[in-house]
Amino acid sequence: MNRLVCLLVVLACVAPVRAADKAYAYEVETVGAAKRAAATAGGVRWTCSGTRCTASGRGGNVSVKGCSELARQVGAVASYRSEVKRLGEDDLAECNRIAGAAPAVKNARSAGKPQRAATGELTYTGVWPPGGTTAERKP
């Protein structure tokens, strides 16, 4: 019985270690052709061809920091993802801003959407007559 408990404890400790060592696929699409065929960024070695860069590494996590490190070397990034996670539009914009690699084209998903503009203070123009409602107004 004691041996069974020890075996279960050992297996419980080893399983998470093996999961963390798993190699995950990473993929990046650049806005234009990548400036380099190979780069090291985000702790992984990237291989680029045209507008696509791929890598394999542990963890499967993606970050703005890793993205910006790569963008400095290969150019503006349109998408950054792994098997586990992908960067959203705001994170991609931050990635390119930090790297100093502004995208040359707008994101296709937001191209047809109207953009919100910041407005100043609104002014009341006097729709209702002073001192009452429209029902109290006599012609």
CA–CA distance, 89 with 94 (Å, rounded to integer): 9
> What is the pLDDT at residue 3?
65
Structure tokens given for 19:
């999961």
SS3 5: helix
Q: How long is the chain? A: 139
SS3 7: helix
> What is the pLDDT at residue 68?
94
Residue type, position 21, single letter: D
> What is the pLDDT at residue 59?
85
Of 38, 41, 87, residue with least CA distance to 64: 87
Residue type, position 38, single letter: A
- Where the chain has pLDDT below 70, the residues are 1-20, 103-139
Please say whether the beta carbons of 69 and 41 come within 8 A.
Answer: yes
> What is the pLDDT at residue 28?
96
> What is the pLDDT at residue 110?
47
Whole-structure pTM over 0.85, yes or no? Answer: no
CA within 13 Å, CB half, 41: 28
